[in-house]
Amino acid sequence: MSSLLNSSAVKRSLAACLALPFTLLAGHAAADGDGVWKNGENVYAKVCGHCHESTVGPVIKGRQLPPQYITAVVRSGFRAMPAFPASFIDDKALQQVAEYISKAPAPAAKP
């Protein structure tokens, strides 16, 4: 039974099941007002922060990640993070959020 739980197919299925609610939540966030992202901070707050400001995803602010790396991970997905196609976030908004994340300070430590 434990070998079944360790199979790559089961891990991929589990990651997809975990990512689906966040993908749906992110899709709802895109419909904010006129459906246009305002800036990188807006995209981060409406989409990225749901996972990366909680214990779901790793902290990404304050790490000075290169914008090119961020855009590649967003477009392709990585581990439990789903890919976000251009139909969800256009290249301009993606570049804005990548620059925001790469320059943002680390969040304050929680007591």
In DSSP terms, which residues pair with 81 in a beta bridge?
A: 78
Handedness of CA 14, 54, 95, 38 (dihedral sign): positive
91 membership: H or E segment, kind and range: helix 91-103
**Active-site residue, 81 included:** yes
Question: Which residue among the candidates 15, 30, 80, 104 is catalytic per the annotation?
Answer: 80
Question: Which residue among the candidates 81, 83, 98, 108 is catalytic per the annotation?
Answer: 81
**Active-site residue, 1 included:** no
Cite the active site residues: 80-81
